[in-house]
Amino acid sequence: MFGDGLDKKLKRLGLHDDDDDDEVEDSLVIGIDFGTTYSGVAWATRADFENNQINFITSWPGNGREEGKVPTELWYDENGEPAWGYEVPADGDPFRWFKLLLLRTEDLGPDLRRSDFVVRSQDMMEESGRTAVGLIADYLRLLWAHIMSTIERARGETVLEALAIHVVITVPAIWKSYARQAMEDAAKDAGILDSRAAGDTTLAFVPEPEAAALSTLLEQGRGVQPGNVYVVCDAGGGTVDLISYKVKSTKPIVLQEAVEGTGGLCGGIFIDQAFEHMCSGRLGLKWKRLSKTGIREIMKNEWEYGIKPQFKPAKVRKEHIVSLPAEAFRDRGPSSLDDTSREPYIKNGRIHFLGPHIEKVFEGVFADIEKLVEGQIRKAADKGLAVTGIILVGGLGSSPYLYEHLKAMHSKAGIAVLQSGGIKPRTAICRGAVLKGFLEGHENQLETGNVIAPIMVTSTVSRASYGIQFKTPFDALRHLEKDKRWDEHEGRWEVTNQMNWYLKRGEMTSNIKPLRASWCRLYKKKEFNGTCSVHLYQCEDEVPPTRYTPSVRTLGKFSSDLDVEYSDLPDFKSKTGVMMKKLEFELELVPSGASVKFVLYVDGRKQRGESAQIRFV
């Protein structure tokens, strides 16, 4: 549900119309927060959305209690049949953290590459002969079947079959384009985009912190004022993403990214890893006697569902007791149940942790998160902006300890620290994904004045430079001698490795205004096949180079079928007398929240169809 009073706001903005209550539901948006450790789903029909309702899936196979999320875990039996989430057997050894395996090794960072979690997950994947895309596809296939059956039970098979479906999957803001491409491939392999009688199912991605911002700032209501700057800290299982937004206006709430967002691989799994190391270090041989089921009992029941989500610094002598499986003490006498030779004490087969012991488990990750938050605050200050508040979302974002930690660090500076109150922080992101699905395409209404969206992000800060290579006449004052090449068609010296950056890192990009440039290409008849392909490049340097260098990486290849024949193109006679044809076209970059899109125009006509697409590498 939206926050109190939003129903009136939706009516005022035109998203809720009493005269249309009997209108047939004609669309369905499904938001999937596919997380490293847990995943969540929210959904709404257009009628739901207009009536101030977003639905969450809280019932999962294999689990008798209501939960906002399901474990992102996958296990295969001896016949290769998968089980997922809460259905993974207690003695099973499931695939975990496979979302992180979409990233290339060089993009993981040194600490994560050496992480026990990632190394073990990579080893399991390689031993099984599976791929990260394959694992994600299997998980999404099972998740999707549950989503469809849940909605069918709620609305009926006939209604569901008649609804056009738009799926919005959240992705980390720090992800590269190739990882998003892999997620799209997995979604297709999972059958999410299979054809339906109601029409094609469409897919979009939204950065996780942007989804969180839409959800949480809309919930803040009147507390959001023009000029406010909020750092949204999405602390999840694997990644921590931060985006800072400035409120440009209210009624509707219009957000602009204030500074370039940042992120790191310092999520909750690293706290889990620290706790596991502390337990194994204290128990020694007893830990080695534990089966996978026994370790799972400690890590899930005692830690993840017990101490971790509730812990916050209290009295030093307050105990946090972890019960140990009996197998840790097998073949030993009753005296082995106790060890008070050093802290934390073991009494009656239980570890008695004190507050300082547990604090150490959180310290490293919290220090990394604090660095990211401080970095956003400094960047904002460099632009003359004062941060109003820090908003915590995500699984780790719901930690009372993280809340208290950041509050202690920033309260003296007058920066409020907020945890989403009216909605659970763990469901804020999938809720925001549904909002994004319904609000997509409304940005241009700001220019027409016909605004119907209650909240929108109209501009972001580019995290990389995007462009293409081009050739130009050689200029000794601007170009390097080693770069020049003789062009026999033009009859002149040229440089062919120059970079044209459509968008540079750190530039503010409007979701309303595409960036377009004109180009041309020469063809002999045998070279023309009715398509046009352009290699795309990206660079993460603060100032991108004017020529191709090792820091420039291939982004992908854009290809499009053309609606013109070879004979339609104007003639071109080379300096050597060879008759050729000249294709003049425009390539347009369209900024998008989770990626960039390119569009090709010939004679002002947009080249349409599935053929006009980027294949990221």
**Domains identified in the chain and CATH numbers:** 6-207 (3.30.420), 209-265+365-430 (3.30.420.40), 268-361 (no CATH), 462-616 (2.60.34)
Largest CA distance in the chain: 98
d(CA 581, CA 559): 19
Residue 242's nearest CA partner among 425, 426, 390 is 390
Average pLDDT, the chain: 88
pLDDT tens digits for range 523-581: 999 999 999 999 999 999 999 999 999 999 999 999 999 999 999 999 999 998 999 99
Question: How far, in Å, are 266, 281, 288, 331, 340 from residue 323 at the CA level?
Answer: 28, 16, 16, 18, 16
**Which of 203-212, 334-343, 476-485, 544-553 has the lowest average pLDDT?**
334-343
Give me the residue label for tokens 């006697």: 289
pLDDT at 199: 87
For 441-477, letters b (16+ CB in 10 Å) and e give ebbebbeeeebebbbbbbbbbbbbbbbbbeeeebeee
d(CA 387, CA 344): 41
pLDDT tens digits for range 189-210: 999 999 898 888 999 999 888 8
pTM score, whole prediction:
0.86
pLDDT tens digits for range 600-611: 999 999 987 666
pLDDT at 318: 84
Which whole number is the average pLDDT over 59-64? 94
Read off the tokens for 208.
Answer: 């996780």
Percent of the chain with pLDDT over 70: 90
pLDDT tens digits for range 367-409: 999 999 999 999 999 999 999 999 998 889 989 999 999 999 9
Q: Which residue type occupies 111? A: D
pLDDT tens digits for range 20-53: 443 444 789 999 999 999 999 999 999 998 888 9
pLDDT tens digits for range 84-127: 999 999 888 999 999 989 988 888 777 677 777 788 899 999 99
pLDDT tens digits for range 165-189: 999 999 988 788 889 999 999 999 9
